[in-house]
Amino acid sequence: MLSLTNKHVLLGITGGIAAYKSADLARQFVKAGAEVRVVMTRAATEFITPLTLQALSGNQVHLELLDADAEAGMGHIELARWADLVVVAPATADFLARATQSHADDLLTTLILATPAIVAIAPAMNQGMWSDLGVQKNVEALKKRGYHLLGPAQGEQACGDVGLGRMLEPQDILQHCADMFETGLLAGKHVMITGGPTREAIDPVRYISNHSSGKMAYALAEQAYAAGAKVTLVSGPVALATPQGVTRIDVTSAREMLAAVMENIASVDVFVGVAAVADYRPEKIAIAKIKKHEDALELRLVKNPDIIREVAQRNPRPFVVGFAAETESIVENGQKKLEDKKLDLLFANEATGTFNSDSIAVTAISASGQVALTPGSKTSLARRMVELIAHQISTGKES
């Protein structure tokens, strides 16, 4: 279940007797390393209490569409962007019908419309209801939307009937959800990712750097590994744990990062430059701490190596992916960077407000055109970035 570690799982519970299983499902998601938030319909609270789910998930349970405590009162949008995975379990026949018709009259149906995350639905109802032609029509419509239908299972039901309609057991739902993140899209590939900032020393206690939490690079490393790749992460100084299965090389300066990259680049199939590399460094590093003797201090700066450009100029070279954090003309500047550095793919984003944030919005730019990725968590965006990278490689659409 390593693929669920650090994932944001939104568990939706509707009003069916199988709601008692949702308590165990929430517990198992937490045990698998996921962060869980629960959304309950009003009918669901008749079968199991919000307090139970709050205790098991460790987070406040969400009930209302309009939340006065949420930013701008838009709790459904915040939750929709937060989630990497939305699981509705149990999903009643009524919920299936309302989801099919794109209803947005409660929190759960509204956030499903708004989320860029994977959506999985675990139906639970009487066997006669499940076999109804209208229900089956709704199920097929939801599948065509790309929703994952999990179950139902066959067996004895609360009403005494026997047949299809039981909600899958929590362990089975958990396994299906874990499998959704293990795509195999990059199986057999060696992916190298640079992440975090670099620090360029001024003296023994001071340095020049760029804003970067490293969260985007680490999310990409995690998703590339889940997609079957061997992953090497060359990281500047960040306060993040190494993703499971990823080989991490710690560096400090731009020149150290370049050396680590070039030392390992020969076996790399995909290079993703996410690091916020300092463009300049002090020409000379003071041996001792510089004292504040004067009102002004002059430093002569020299250019740092352009790591991603050097990788892109290699022959043979890997598939090269860049990032551009811009404060203006986001797409235009990203397009220029793609062409100037001869990259295969580039993700451009607005820099202001994304540092240390868990969410982001980006535009993918390549020779094939542009694709805007809906705002979401960095983990969910990383998964979609990996899908785009794999698609570009498989179709040979390289610039």
Q: Which of 55, 159, 285, 297 is catalytic?
A: 159
**Residue 6's closest CA among 32, 41, 37, 43?**
32
Task: Give pLDDT, residue 398.
Answer: 43
Please state the separation of Cα 358 from the chain's center in Å.
9
| Helix pair 50-57, 19-31: axis angle to 10 deg | 10
Task: Give pLDDT, residue 171.
Answer: 95
Helix (H, G, I), strand (E, B) or coil at 370: strand
Residue spans of the domains in the chain: they are 2-180, 190-395
Say if CB 337 and CB 322 are below 8 A apart: yes
CATH number corresponding to 2-180 = 3.40.50.1950
Handedness of CA 77, 79, 84, 88 (dihedral sign): negative
Task: Give pLDDT, residue 74.
Answer: 53
190-395 matches 2-180 in CATH topology? yes
Task: Give pLDDT, residue 69.
Answer: 62
Task: Give pLDDT, residue 399.
Answer: 39
Task: Give pLDDT, residue 356.
Answer: 66
b/e code 326-341 from CB counts within 10 Å (16+ = b) = beeebeeebbebbeeb
Task: Give pLDDT, residue 361.
Answer: 85
Counting as low any pLDDT under 50, the low residues of the chain are 72-73, 398-399
Is 177 a residue of the active site?
A: no
> What one-letter code names the amino acid at 389?
I
Half-sphere exposure of 214 (CA within 13 A, CB side): 23
> What one-letter code names the amino acid at 40?
M
Considering the segment(s) 190-395 as one domain, its CATH architecture is: 3-Layer(aba) Sandwich (3.40)
Read off the tokens for 282: 């002090």
Task: Give pLDDT, residue 351.
Answer: 76
Instruction: Enter the pTM of the model.
Output: 0.74
